[in-house]
Amino acid sequence: MEREKILKGIKRVVIKIGSKALANKENISYERIQSLSNDINKLRKSGIECLIVSSGAILAGNEFFNFNIKKLNVLRKQAVASLGQVKLMSYYIKAFSKKEINVSQLLLTNDIFNDRKRFLNTRAMILELLKMKIIPIINENDTVSVDEIMFGDNDILASKVAAMMDADLLVLLTDIDGLYSNNPKTNKKAQLINNLDETSFNSEVIDDVESQVSFGGMNSKINAALEVSKFGIPTLIANGKTKDVLKDIFNFKDIGTAIIPSSIKIKSRKKWIGMGPKSSGKLYLDTGAANAIINNRKSLLPSGIVKIEGVFSKGQQVVCIRTIDNSPIARGLISYSSDEINLIKGKKSSEIEKILGYKYSDEIINRDNMVLI
């Protein structure tokens, strides 16, 4: 019943297919891509829009060389990925063309999420693809970006795409059945956790499993789930090698692990603030200001700022730090530069114009330009 409550009414889903889910030993399995394409075709016929974030480019490219991938330097991995992208897409084209479905390839980099204009353009283009009944197949552009190669196996990229596209669900497919109470490959007593609230991660954590074919792991999937949970999007982690896995998920079977968000959905602009631009500085707040933001969703006033770090201009993003325990509590777009804030920090809003000779706003960060973290 809990699973049905989470999944009922899904209209748009981002499906991240990991290298482990596609791997047949150390090669890409076309049969697995074909099987997943069958499931996705059925989802489309039921009225669900599907976006795919696919890993596997390095693995596909390495079929020509048989390198030890973990020992390759970044440039060699990028070169192998550029070769593998062609082969990987040929598999997807072949699988979906049998169902008369067109697919497109999008190679994204993190800077798309840092620039609002590019963010909105990318979102509009993907919406147009969906309107044309084309399935977007998204990967990080490994040839110019090292983040995916070194850290995430596209889990974080998938979470950002899910938030950007207002998805109703993020599905992360890997080679194990979900989150366990312990590492199931080394502990036979480990138990699968079917449903998990986002606030429970402190006590229920799985050990990462070393792998030759993937640079992500369960930690990156947990981070991705927490990322989209901020925007009210549930995540389901499941075994992509299981037959009919997507069909079973949407038939409300208790497979995999569902991570249930406690947050409500937020506006698109706040989504961009929450996941997009890198922070240019830090504002350290007194307890009163921190509590007003956390508990009452108030704007940040200059009187609550104790000190600042970094050099930033009006309109850039900063992180708000609660001074008492040095913990980050929010991210937001700043209304004043770092030089200006140094002059007005600790002062009342009514004193801003007297100190600076002008006043943009009473708030340093308006609540509409702020996201809790």
Beta bridge partners of 15: 52, 171
CA distances 261 to 85, 138, 274, 289, 362, Å, are 33, 24, 15, 26, 33
Is there a single domain that holds both residue 168 and residue 74?
yes
Contacts of 351 (CB under 8 A, 6+ apart): 344
Is there a single domain that holds both residue 10 and residue 120?
yes
Is there a single domain that holds both residue 131 and residue 190?
yes
Q: What is the pLDDT of residues 143-154, one digit of tens each?
A: 666 554 444 558
CATH code for the domain in which residue 168 is found: 3.40.1160.10
Q: What is the pTM of this model?
A: 0.79
**Cα-Cα-Cα-Cα dihedral sign, residues 371, 119, 88, 133:** positive
Is there a single domain that holds both residue 193 and residue 328?
no
Contacts of 183 (CB under 8 A, 6+ apart): 190, 206, 207, 209
**Mean pLDDT, to the nearest integer, of 265-275?**
66
Q: Quote the DSSP letter at residue 238.
A: E
Measure CA of the first residue to CA of the last residue in the chain; give whole Å.
30
Beta bridge partners of 135: 103
Structure tokens given for 27: 């090669």
As a whole number of angstroms, the distance between CA 105 and CA 194 comes to 33
Is there a single domain that holds both residue 129 and residue 42?
yes
CATH code for the domain in which residue 305 is found: 2.30.130.10
Q: What is the pLDDT of residues 90-117, one digit of tens each?
A: 999 999 999 999 999 999 887 788 777 8
> Which domain covers residue 364, as residue numbers?
279-372
Q: What is the pLDDT of residues 319-334, one digit of tens each?
A: 898 988 999 999 898 9
Residue 267, judged by CB atoms within 10 A of its CB (0-12, 13-18, 19+), counts as: exposed
Among 270, 305, 328, where does a domain finish?
270
Is there a single domain that holds both residue 183 and residue 87?
yes
Q: What is the pLDDT of residues 319-372, one digit of tens each?
A: 898 988 999 999 898 999 999 999 999 999 999 999 999 999 999 999 888 888
Q: Which of 48, 37, 54, 16 is nearest to 250 (CA)?
A: 48
**Mean pLDDT, to the nearest integer, of 16-40?**
92
Helix (H, G, I), strand (E, B) or coil at 195: strand
**Mean pLDDT, to the nearest integer, of 236-257?**
93
